[in-house]
């Protein structure tokens, strides 16, 4: 498949801004959606708008089938052992908060420890801070080095017999470095510590086989992997999900309700209280199919060409400081966060916007990492498999023009 | 005391005219960048948290003082386009009486289309800058 063929399936990519063709390089925040997802979303909104599971009528039955077949699709995509291990949420943030609360209630005692890495998104920091405060636990930080690589060499000593959970991103949303998750899991498990992997960036670029990774929890958001916004997944090992208490009460999550006491639904319903995102969640199925399709060999090679071109261009410009520099076995996705000497990231983003290029600027929901590198913010260009080499060249040229206007 | 040659409205009209010369927003930004680079210097010791404007992705410090019945503003930012916007505001409002400023509706900013063409975060910043200028005027009426 060629990149032009791929682009035809994404109606949002043919848009213009300020009369210029849109060059969308903010994919790490929200990725554009293919027609297959938009069609599914529309069809469910129009023709299958009914509450799931309990109604006996036809459109509810069909809506339920769509919803549950998305669960099977996610199970297959992640290679989870069973469909009961796939919990639908509103996004990665909701998934992490669920684990932080329920895991905390079940397994965390005063003086226990939770580890997060220094390069985590706020969504993989703040829920743990809240849980530690609630349970009297201690939050410990696994640092990154100057090039943006996790200091795995320190992990062995960081994990103690009081460490209950280590929470790391598969790929940092700022650095774009693919973290050695398997190695992290091995170190942690050898000391009895469990591992939660934030797959928000990983799911679209490398995918995930949760049994191969060996992680205990894996979370991701739909809107970063071609699905509708407000959708998300929590994978959890069955025995953990069974031991943890429910998160929210009401709706789907009950078995029987009496004033003398309520019993809870079995997995996965136990964690899916309230009316579900019945139009959005089923789009995960065509979305993950698209993610699989776009990992085809030709497109991967093309994507590597785009990545290498941008990487070389940025690294060879001495005014630019790139955060997340690959080394050894190549381990970087096409996500580039950088600062430019003498030019503010916000000015650059504003000028690029007027040139038709959508990038992100600011702290990227990773303030501790900004502090680590002593910057107030960065500019981030994140590419998807549908971005072309021509777009990459236009980006580099436009960046040069923006810099010369500012410096 | 420096005599004001032009009224507040006249200065605003001039800015609207200046902006209308440029068709492309990129050119308007080039103009703002020039203004930003030429903004007179702001003392480092004035960059304190109480002078910091809320709502900006970039940092903006805005200070004022009253002299002989007129308000004088000085400001700085770490982003140059923001500095250009401040420079625009200062050129209009610095050296005016509190009555003049409090009686103005700041609508010239809409006429040059500045607000709509800023990112939401920067538009918030602009609103905060306007509020600070307005508050300075109102507290000195």
CB-based contacts of A32, cutoff 8 Å, min separation 6: A10, A12, A13, A24, A226, A384, A386
Q: How many domains does chain A have?
A: 2
Residues of B in contact with A360 (CB under 8 A): none
Residues of A in contact with B57 (CB under 8 A): 346, 361-362, 377
- Residue-wise pLDDT for A8-31, tens only, equals 999 999 999 989 999 999 999 999
Residue B3 belongs to some domain of the structure: no
Average pLDDT over residues A119-129: 98
Residues of B in contact with A364 (CB under 8 A): none
Model confidence at B1, pLDDT cuts 50, 70, 90, reads very low
Model confidence at B122, pLDDT cuts 50, 70, 90, reads low
Residue B68 belongs to some domain of the structure: yes
Q: Indicate the residue of A343, A354, A376 with minimum beta-carbon distance to B29.
A: A354
- Does residue A222 have a pLDDT over 70? yes
- Does residue B115 have a pLDDT over 80? no
Residue A407 contacts B where some CB pair is shorter than 8 Å: no
Q: How far is CA B107 from the centre of its chain?
A: 13
Average pLDDT over residues A165-191: 97
pLDDT at B117: 66
Asked casually if ipTM beats, i.e. exceeds, 0.90, the reply is no
The total of other beta-carbon atoms located within 10 Å of residue B34's CB is: 13
* A362 in the same domain as A266: no
Question: What is the CATH classification number for the domain harbouring B43?
Answer: 3.90.1010.10
Question: What is the CATH classification number for the domain harbouring A340?
Answer: 3.90.1150.10
Average pLDDT over residues A316-343: 93
* A167 in the same domain as A50: yes
End residue of a domain, out of A257, A274, A290: A290
pLDDT at B41: 82
End residue of a domain, out of A269, A290, A311: A290
* A324 in the same domain as A233: no
- Which residues are registered as beta bridge partners of A114? A139, A165
Active site residues of B: 56
Q: Indicate the residue of B24, B26, B57 with minimum beta-carbon distance to A346.
A: B57
Residue B129 belongs to some domain of the structure: yes
- Residue-wise pLDDT for A357-369, tens only, equals 999 999 999 999 9
* A329 in the same domain as A237: no
- What mean pLDDT value characterizes chain A? 96
* pTM beyond 0.90: yes
Residue A47 domain boundaries: 38-290
The verdict on a CB contact (< 8 Å) between B33 and A376 is no
- Does residue B119 have a pLDDT over 70? no
Residue B93 belongs to some domain of the structure: yes
Round to whole Å and give the CA distance between B89 and B5: 18
Average pLDDT over residues A220-232: 98
* A277 in the same domain as A303: no
* A268 in the same domain as A200: yes
Residue B109 belongs to some domain of the structure: yes
* A124 in the same domain as A231: yes
Residue A6 contacts B where some CB pair is shorter than 8 Å: no
Q: How many domains does chain B have?
A: 1
Residue A283 contacts B where some CB pair is shorter than 8 Å: no
Average pLDDT over residues A106-135: 98
Round to whole Å and give the CA distance between A369 and A374: 8
Residue A362 contacts B where some CB pair is shorter than 8 Å: yes
* A153 in the same domain as A167: yes
- Terminal CA-CA length for chain B: 19
Question: What's phi and psi for A125, nearest 5 deg?
Answer: -120, -55
- Residue-wise pLDDT for A134-165, tens only, equals 999 999 999 999 999 999 999 999 999 999 99
pLDDT at B50: 87
Average pLDDT over residues A184-204: 98
pLDDT at A211: 98
Nearest to A398 by CA among A17, A12, A31: A17
């Amino acid at each position: 498949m060629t990149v032009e063929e791929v682009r035809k399936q994404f109606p949002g990519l043919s848009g213009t801004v300020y009369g210029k063709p849109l060059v969308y390089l903010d994919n790490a925040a929200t990725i554009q959606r293919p027609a297959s997802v938009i069609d599914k979303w529309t069809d469910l909104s129009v023709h299958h708008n009914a509450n799931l599971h309990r109604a006996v009528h036809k459109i509810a039955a069909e809506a339920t089938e769509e919803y549950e077949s998305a669960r099977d699709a996610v199970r297959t995509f992640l290679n989870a052992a069973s469909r009961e291990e796939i919990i639908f949420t509103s996004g990665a943030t909701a998934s992490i908060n669920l684990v932080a609360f329920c895991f905390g209630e079940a397994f965390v005692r005063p003086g226990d420890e939770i580890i997060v890495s220094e390069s985590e998104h706020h969504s993989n920091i703040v829920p743990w801070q809240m849980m530690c405060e609630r349970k009297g636990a201690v939050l410990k930080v696994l640092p990154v080095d100057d090039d943006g690589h996790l200091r795995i060499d320190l992990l062995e000593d960081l994990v103690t017999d009081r460490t209950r959970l280590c929470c790391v991103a598969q790929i940092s949303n700022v650095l774009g470095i693919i973290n050695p998750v398997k190695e992290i899991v091995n170190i942690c498990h050898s000391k009895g510590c469990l591992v939660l992997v934030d797959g928000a960036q990983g799911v679209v670029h490398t995918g995930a086989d949760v049994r191969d990774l060996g992680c205990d929890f894996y979370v991701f958001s739909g809107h970063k992997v071609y699905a509708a916004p407000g959708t998300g997944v929590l994978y959890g090992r069955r025995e953990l999900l069974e031991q943890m208490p429910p998160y929210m009460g009401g709706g789907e999550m009950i078995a029987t309700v009496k004033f003398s006491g309520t019993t809870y639904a079995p997995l996965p319903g136990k964690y899916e209280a309230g009316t579900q995102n019945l139009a959005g969640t089923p789009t995960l199925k065509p979305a993950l199919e698209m993610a699989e399709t776009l990992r085809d060999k030709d497109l991967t090679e093309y994507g590597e060409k785009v990545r290498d071109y941008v990487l070389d261009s940025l690294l060879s410009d001495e005014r630019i400081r790139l955060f997340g520099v690959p080394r050894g076995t190549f381990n970087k996705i096409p996500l580039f966060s950088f600062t430019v000497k003498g030019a503010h990231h916000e000015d650059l983003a504003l000028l690029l916007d007027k040139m038709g290029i959508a990038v992100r600027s600011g702290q990227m929901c990773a303030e501790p990492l900004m502090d680590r590198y002593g910057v107030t913010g960065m500019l981030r260009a994140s590419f998807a498999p549908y971005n072309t080499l021509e777009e990459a060249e236009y980006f580099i040229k436009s960046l040069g023009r923006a810099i010369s206007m500012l410096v | 005391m420096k005599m004001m040659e032009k009224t507040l409205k006249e200065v605003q009209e001039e800015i609207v005219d200046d902006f209308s010369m440029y068709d492309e927003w990129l050119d308007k930004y080039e103009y703002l960048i020039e203004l930003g680079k030429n903004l007179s210097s702001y003392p480092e010791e004035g960059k304190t948290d109480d002078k910091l404007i809320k709502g900006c992705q970039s940092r903006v410090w805005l200070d004022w003082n009253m002299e002989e019945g007129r308000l004088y503003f000085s400001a700085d930012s770490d982003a140059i386009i923001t500095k250009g916007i401040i420079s625009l505001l200062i050129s209009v409002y610095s050296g005016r009486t509190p009555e003049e400023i409090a009686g103005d509706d700041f609508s010239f900013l809409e006429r040059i289309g500045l607000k709509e063409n800023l990112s939401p975060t920067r538009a918030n910043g602009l609103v905060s800058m306007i509020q600070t200028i307005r508050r300075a005027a109102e507290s000195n009426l």
